[in-house]
Amino acid sequence: MPLDLMTLRLVERPVTKEEGLRILERDQHRCQYCGLDGAASFENALAMSVDFVVPRARRGKKDERNLVACCRSCNMIKGRRVYRSFDEAKSYVLAQREKLRKGWETRKNAPAAAASSSAKAQKSSAPDASKAAAASVINSSPLSIRNR
């Protein structure tokens, strides 16, 4: 049995390729947390893996009842936490995915909103102000030639 370096405990061996394929086929190549269909495209198939519901680091057994097909994103979100049931783990993963999605959409839309507001501000400012600002930047540059 391998040693987990984080907990210094002996853990179950990783899933072999054959065992993993058997679990993926049992679950129809579908993530048991978010429902991603691994058979829909090659990219989805690459994202599929097998997850220990109770992690090996927490003494989870390599038993078919403890193994599920899942995408790598859900596997990373779930991490090494231990849940009372698979349904609790699934609800946690889906809640975290939704939180990440909202944060991503906020960051994605924020630069567009900031760019449009700064463009409006530039149009409304006087041309003389922008020339003065450019002159001050040029004059403060260490490469500019100044009378000393």
Report yes or no: 86 and 52 within 8 Å, Cβ to Cβ: no
**Which among 92, 75, 41, 84 is positioned nearest to 67, based on CA atoms?**
75
Residue-wise pLDDT for 49-100, tens only, equals 999 998 887 887 888 999 999 999 999 999 888 888 999 999 999 999 999 9
Give the pLDDT of residue 123: 59
| H helix intervals, the chain | 17-26, 42-47, 72-78, 86-124, 127-140
Cβ partners under 8 Å of residue 130, min gap 6: 122
| Tokens matching residue 119 | 């463009």
Residue-wise pLDDT for 14-39, tens only, equals 888 999 999 999 999 999 999 999 99
Domain 3-103 has CATH 2.60.40: no
Residue-wise pLDDT for 113-148, tens only, equals 666 666 666 655 555 555 555 555 455 545 444 444
Domain boundaries, the chain: 3-103
